[in-house]
Structure 1
Amino acid sequence: MSSLQERKWLMSRRKPLIGNLPDIPPKHSWLKFKEWADQYGPIFRLNLAGREHYVVSKEKIANDLLRERGNIYSSREQLPAAAVLLSRGLRPVLLPYDDVWRNGRRLMHLLAMPSAAATYEPTQAMLSTWLLENLIRSPTDYEQWIEQYSSGLMLRLAFGRKITTGKEPEVRRIYKVLENLERIASPGAYLVDTFPSLMMLPKPLAPFKQELEDLHQEELSLFRKLRDDIRVEIDAGTAPDCWEKVAVEKEGESGLTPDQLAYVIGTMFEAGSGTTAAGMMSFLLCMVLHPEEQRKVHEELDRVIGSERLPQFADMPDLPYVRATMKETLRWRPVTAGGVPHLLTKDDVYNGTFIPAGTNIHANQWAIHRDPELYPEPETFKPERWLDPKYPTYKEPLSTYPNLQGFSAFGFGRRICPGLNIAERSLFLLIARIAWACEVKKKTLATGEEEEVPLYDYTAGFNAQPKWFPFDLKVRGDERLKIANEEAEMARERDPLKGR
């Protein structure tokens, strides 16, 4: 969009004091931003109550700014509700780009880098058998089983604990912390984020202050308890190998306070449990809506794996269509569809456009993943785009590509999701095993007609996932059912936390 077009548009849309704020829908703002990108170009400016925002809708622009100039485009605006009052400068995902963030990120890298992620594969394989068993037994409860897998994995990795029912008091507290963060960090949830001057009000006139202080104390006490429990087990020589144990042992050399370390581990749990669950629910939706693509996944699995064993991590190089389906799911229905804004810390100029320090840069993943130059027929769910040389996204060798490394669905530059390597392994194995064992399709009504499933009926918040939808599930043969049940039972016997 030219400077003249931009000025005319902004002048026609902005309101005194609040700017373009009334034009932003209360949820799924990324859909409106995509409309504006189509009309005004791949980078346009908004003023939200005096704060400058640029929305980016092309991957190249996002990489040019957020990756190539990451030294000045990697901070976060310190919004009062989530960053200041709820997190008190402790939650890494909301921290500014400073030494505290860098020290925390260093620990995250140690715990989630590829070599470390590979050591978690036995746990992922074990938990995936239980998800498969439960999904076959009760497909209508698919949300519960997927969340139990993702949260159960992160609870084991982070704190050396297991989820048995999902109703354990400590587990419920963790879930509540996640729900609170999602709600409070959602755009527009608190008026103080739009008008920070409200922070000047005394507590009696600003009830949100007391509410968020109480919620902060609850999550802080939870993270401290999880850390202190590990300390007791370390002293007793009974501590399981887990991220919290590493954090406690590195307190003196990490450059972080004990509470900052506790939030590093807590944040990794938050990020890992939510994103994997949302991605898997979108996968089921994609298969229900696109039975022809599901058949192609089945064909590859039957050819490579057969019917006598479950897919394993070692099969990943031989299953490019499974990996393409995984990647296309995250493109077609990105989890963090609106992206998490980066804050520019120094004046910059990009292609003749001046961007002042203090500007928020939104990499709108919904629009980025619908760029027709990079993704022809962007609204079509098409795993082939990652496998056929005629598409711009094709890359070889197919024993390695497609994969999720550096994929924009996980963010950009120095703020890219640190748990990408763990998430990729979870998504691959779950997709492969569910598709190997099951066929999912639209539910057949008593009339014989199929019950329609919405194309896009998603939750609002940080991580968008499809709201519950009906489907029929059929196991692909008695032999596969027998193998799935036997693997789940053997996993229970081998569980390293059995008896804890």
Structure 2
Amino acid sequence: MNTENIEIYPNWFLHIFTEWARSLGDIYSVQLGQQNWIILTSDKVVGELLQKRGAKYSTRMPNRNNFKLLTRGKGYAGSPYNERYRKINPIMHSVLGQRSVKENSGLLDDEFRILMQTLCQVSAKTNDGFYPKYFFQHTALNIISLLCSNKRTDSVDDPFYREFEILMGTRFELAKVTNGLSEFFPILKWFPNTKIHNAMIESADSIETFLGKLVKEVMDDKEKKPCIIRELLCKKDEEILDDLDVIFLTETIFSAGTDTVSASLTWLTAALANNPHVQSKAHQELDRVIGQSRIPEVSDEQNIPYIRAIIKEGQRYCGALYLGIPHAIEEDDEYNGYHIPANSVVILNQYGIHTDEKRYENSKEFKPERFLGFTESSAALANGNYENRDHFGFGAGRRLCTGIHMACIIFAERELLLGVSRLLWCFKIENASPLGKDGKPTPINLDKIRNGLTVWPEDYKVRFVKRHDNVEKVLSGQS
């Protein structure tokens, strides 16, 4: 299929790729200028190619000049499967391994307890509702910042958080595919978009300055407290990494560790506000299993299957990624008589799979019940048979979850478990949108999105109403 006469704009490919799949099939190609894109829109073809033939599909999109500009050529998630990637990959596995999950469970508990206290305080000051994104993002940032440098901030008004939020927002916006059209249509190189080019250089400069200060703080710490940046600095001392490696590997961890979790919580909160009957079932489960004298813990997971199902359904229904980070193939391949040329870009259409009626009946409904029979974690299912996966939000193949160790997925799942279970234990989430003609709040429109590398819902307002008088007492540890 040729797309010469189709206008390309930021949200165009999110739905059109799925519409085409319904008529063209689960695998088809799109010629975007000089690049050949292979679109995968079924669990089977993703499993057969990205998982079973992972060695062939483990590199990233070729000729990503914009990616090089944004990362000084020192990135990780979008890096080709080359010598540098093979050198850095075991380092990232080490600093984000199973040990990090085990050693930092208390950190997650503290930060999500503080988040609930903050939401109580903010809710007490307004009855109009508010957009919770920034509070979720602040909590995720504190977790990653503590892991990387033993640093945390107290509120969304802190300059460190504000600078981070602006930097990451700009970065994900600049990373959009549509900001690199000259990579598809070489003739556009004769008409360079200097504004975008300069913005990318400025973004890289800003990240280098911002994280450079954090690296220096770690280096100047006389107590030499252990953290991820210190581990990366040890690799620098061993002459395996250089200064820019340390900074931009840290940037990978910051961006991967904050945006996906906070975006997931922001989406889920909107979905829950639109579906009070789901909240009611969750409240019943929490009251029966947890009671009202303590908050949920990670150890409660197996006993709260409906909460676990809500999280899985959230990743399917409104996940933070629609197309993920593109894969690529460096050699020709054949699949069921379909020729896949070398140097093709391979797209995992997560949105298309997640809305496939054959896999998820009534896919447009937010229906956690569809996952009540799933007892394994998404991390375990992602490494197993594609037919048994709950969702494809973490990607597929060797570059699963941006190539970081499976512990990263486990860590994210624990964050979501604590975030969702405690939100629902503490609050009834009410839609604070304007009233419609029927006298009820207008449903939050989840089709309106902010599209960058990560997908966010447009601003909305919700109210967090305390479910019982014991909430603040329990959160403060007085009960």
Would you call these one fold, judging by a TM-score over 0.5?
yes
1:347 to 326, 332, 348: 332
Secondary structure of 1:343's counterpart equals strand
After superposition, the Cα gap between the structure-2 partners of 1:244 and 1:401, relative to the gap in structure 1 and judged at 3 Å, is closer
Matches within 5 A, 1:354-393: 354-387=339-372
Contact 1:404-1:420 at 8 Å conserved across structures: no
Contact 2:282-2:306 at 8 Å conserved across structures: yes
Matched, 1:449 2:439: yes
Q: Equivalents in 2 of 1:221, 1:46: separation in Å?
A: 39
Higher relative contact order (CA 8 A, sep 6+): 2
Matches within 5 A, 1:220-235: 220-233=208-221
Secondary structure of 1:95's counterpart equals coil
Q: Which residue of 2 aligns with 1:427?
A: 416
The letter of the residue matching 2:136 is I
After superposition, the Cα gap between the structure-2 partners of 1:27 and 1:448, relative to the gap in structure 1 and judged at 3 Å, is closer
Q: Which residue of 1 aligns with 2:451?
A: 460
Q: Which residue of 2 aligns with 1:493?
A: none
Q: Which residue of 1 aligns with 2:121?
A: 137
Matched, 1:58 2:58: no
The letter of the residue matching 2:50 is L
Contact 2:149-2:214 at 8 Å conserved across structures: yes
Matched, 1:156 2:146: yes
Q: Which residue of 2 aligns with 1:106?
A: 90
Percent identical among aligned pairs is 24
Q: Equivalents in 1 of 2:5, 2:116: separation in Å?
A: 45
Q: Which residue of 2 aligns with 1:283?
A: 268
After superposition, the Cα gap between the structure-2 partners of 1:254 and 1:478, relative to the gap in structure 1 and judged at 3 Å, is farther
Q: Equivalents in 2 of 1:290, 1:170: separation in Å?
A: 35
Q: Equivalents in 2 of 1:332, 1:207: separation in Å?
A: 36
1:302 to 287, 300, 313: 287
The letter of the residue matching 1:166 is V
Residue by residue, what CA displacement relative to the aligned partner does 1:53-84 show, whole Å, maximum 9, x if unpaired?
Answer: 01111022112211221212111124455312
Matches within 5 A, 1:332-343: 332-343=317-328
What stretches of structure 2 of length at least 5 have no aligned partner? 124-129, 383-390
- Report the aligned-residue RMSD: 2.5
Q: Which residue of 2 aligns with 1:414?
A: 398
2:178 to 168, 188, 191: 188
The letter of the residue matching 1:232 is D
Contact 1:154-1:273 at 8 Å conserved across structures: yes
User: How many angstroms does 1:114 deviate by?
Assistant: 3.2
The letter of the residue matching 1:465 is W
Q: Equivalents in 1 of 2:209, 2:62: separation in Å?
A: 23
Contact 1:76-1:95 at 8 Å conserved across structures: yes
Secondary structure of 2:29's counterpart equals strand
After superposition, the Cα gap between the structure-2 partners of 1:75 and 1:451, relative to the gap in structure 1 and judged at 3 Å, is same
Contact 1:37-1:44 at 8 Å conserved across structures: yes
Q: Equivalents in 1 of 2:72, 2:295: separation in Å?
A: 46
Q: Equivalents in 1 of 2:74, 2:141: separation in Å?
A: 22
Secondary structure of 2:458's counterpart equals coil
After superposition, the Cα gap between the structure-2 partners of 1:374 and 1:471, relative to the gap in structure 1 and judged at 3 Å, is same
Q: Equivalents in 1 of 2:348, 2:433: separation in Å?
A: 40
The letter of the residue matching 1:266 is E
Matches within 5 A, 1:163-178: 163-178=153-168
